[in-house]
Amino acid sequence: MRARRIVILTGAGISAESGLGTFRDAGGVWSRYDLVDVATPEGFARDPALVHEFYNARRVSARAAQPNAAHHALARLEARGPEVTLVTQNVDDLHERAGSRRVLHMHGRLDGALCGACGHRWDAAETMAPGEACPSCAAGAGRPDVVWFGEMPYHMPEIEALLARCDIFVAIGTSGNVYPASAFVEEAAMAGAHTLELNKEPSEVARAFGETRYGPASQVVPAWVEEFLGGSRHG
Ligand code: OAD
């Protein structure tokens, strides 16, 4: 098969071996925090200090983390393979630091700040605090530029268009619990793409994939990338 367009969805599992915790594994983020408190607009309105504390800690961890072999392999694939777009649910920047260029952060980024009043965006300082003033409109409405439950993920029209015309769809390190990302495999399959799940264990939507490979991302992702680059010609 001569693949021309690959869409790769990544989730917290790809950054797990970089030391960043996942959400739903044993001891994961959602076993320690109630997501309603820290990942919804209502939670932020109720207790902005708690929400900032949560994202400040994650920002510090993300800045200290290093990309692992799985991030590096995907950057290699983009450099040497056909058209590759990463659609990540992760708010860290490990894909970019590994060298990937086409990265869509559908759940936003920890290193961004967003004005809840006017929508202006700026670079987040390492520590954000309640009432941070927007550099554009001066409202004290600064928040992390991350997508919370109940909000529309970013880049959706572009992602839908990519899914409708991809030859291969790969999901890596995501549990398949959160819509709309959990439905991407069905959309890609309907468009005729080969679908592949690379994960530590079968996800909630594993049965929807045409092919599955299980193991740590640092092993299964480089193995698949090398196999793909070695076995296909691109034109
Ligand atoms: P989850 O924590 O739900 O799932 C992580 C997946 O990665 C699980 O299927 C694990 O089995 C797998 N995994 C763990 N370690 C791995 C490793 N070393 N190698 C490969 N796979 C591994 O995280 P996500 O699916 O990313 O949203 O969660 C989706 C969204 O839910 C997040 O973006 C976040 C969260 O609530 C918001 O906050 C809006």
Count of structural domains within the chain? 2
What residues form DSSP beta bridges with 83?
5
Last residue of a domain, one of 91, 125, 146: 146
CATH at 206: 3.40.50.1220
| 196 and 209 inside one domain | yes
Q: What is the pLDDT of residue 2?
A: 65
Catalytic-labelled residue, pool 95, 107, 155, 234? 107
> Is 72 a residue of the active site?
no
| 77 and 132 inside one domain | no
Instruction: Tell me how far apart the alpha carbons of residues 23 and 128 are, in angstroms, rounded to a whole number.
Output: 22
CATH at 33: 3.30.1600.10
Mean pLDDT of the chain: 96
Is residue 1's pLDDT more than 60? no
Q: State pLDDT tens for residues 187-215.
A: 999 999 999 999 999 999 999 999 999 99
Is residue 53's pLDDT more than 50? yes
Q: State pLDDT tens for residues 64-105.
A: 999 999 999 999 999 998 899 999 999 999 999 999 999 999
**What value does the mean pLDDT take over residues 22-44?**
96
**What value does the mean pLDDT take over residues 213-233?**
92
* Omega within 30 of 0 (cis) for the link into 180: yes
Q: What is the pLDDT of residue 81?
A: 81
Q: What is the pLDDT of residue 233?
A: 47
Last residue of a domain, one of 94, 127, 146: 146
Last residue of a domain, one of 120, 146, 172: 146
131 CA from centroid of ligand 1 (Å): 31
For ligand 1, atom 22: residue with the closest CA: 13
Ligand 1 pocket: which of 178, 213, 224 to mutate (most atoms within 8 A of CB): 178
Residue 61: band (very low, low, confident or very high) from pLDDT cuts 50, 70, 90:
very high
Q: What is the pLDDT of residue 234?
A: 46
Ligand 1 nearest-atom number relative to CA 203? 9
What residues form DSSP beta bridges with 84?
6
**What value does the mean pLDDT take over residues 184-188?**
98
**What value does the mean pLDDT take over residues 171-185?**
97
| 46 and 74 inside one domain | no
Residue 232: band (very low, low, confident or very high) from pLDDT cuts 50, 70, 90:
low
**What value does the mean pLDDT take over residues 30-47?**
97
Is residue 156's pLDDT more than 80? yes
116 CA from centroid of ligand 1 (Å): 27
| 137 and 228 inside one domain | no
| 14 and 29 inside one domain | no
Quick check: 175 and 203 in contact, CB under 8 A? Answer: yes
| 40 and 134 inside one domain | yes
| 83 and 156 inside one domain | yes
Instruction: Tell me how far apart the alpha carbons of residues 165 and 177 are, in angstroms, rounded to a whole number.
Output: 24
Ligand 1 pocket: which of 199, 201, 209, 219 to mutate (most atoms within 8 A of CB): 199
Tell me the residue range of the domain where 32 lies.
Answer: 21-64+111-146
Q: State pLDDT tens for residues 107-130.
A: 999 999 999 999 999 999 999 999
204 CA from centroid of ligand 1 (Å): 11
Q: What percent of the chain has pLDDT over 90?
A: 95
> DSSP letters of the chain?
----EEEEEE-GGGTGGGT---SSSTT-HHHHS-HHHHSSHHHHHH-HHHHHHHHHHHHHHHHH----HHHHHHHHHHHHSSEEEEEE---S-HHHHHT---EEETTEEEEEEEETTT--EEEPPSS--TTPPPTTT--S-EEEEEPPTTSPPTTHHHHHHHHHT-SEEEEES--S-STTGGGHHHHHHHTT-EEEEEESS--TTGGG-SEEEES-HHHHHHHHHHHHHHH----
Q: Tokens 């950057």 correspond to what residue?
A: 75
Instruction: Tell me how far apart the alpha carbons of residues 131 and 116 are, in angstroms, rounded to a whole number.
Output: 11
